[in-house]
Amino acid sequence: MTILQGAFRLVGILWLLALAALVAVGMLKGTITVGGLLLVKTPGRRGRRSATRVQLLLATLAIAALYLKSAVVRPDAARLPALPPVWVIILAASNAIYLTAKVVPARRARARRGASGP
């Protein structure tokens, strides 16, 4: 690794750490609200924890942690590591579960009201 590559890597790591610190401080101070992040947002069902939101958050954090680990321990520091296809499938499935849980009840409610359209 050349000195310039090392400098770019260091600046990139410092940038990500600074960004993470800013978000963490904002969450702790309350300027970034996360109060209802994992709660059901439909009328009449507020206050309950949403299983689909929890699984989406956990899947996203797990994939991000695995990717960060592979980026830190990679032998070739000049490139970002490739994302294994199974990780992409897991993340896509997690998002599909969440979106399905959002779309199906909305379509059922629309059908009960007799509304048409997408």
User: Which pLDDT tens digit goes with each residue over 38-94?
Assistant: 888 766 666 788 899 999 999 999 999 998 888 888 767 677 788 899 999 999 999
60's CB contacts (< 8 A; 6+ apart) are 91, 94
Instruction: Report if pTM > 0.85.
Output: no
Could you read off the pLDDT of 6-41 as tens digits, one per residue? 788 788 889 989 999 999 999 999 899 888 888 887
DSSP per-residue letters across 14-50: HHHHHHHHHHHHHHHHTSS--TTTTB--STT-TTSBP
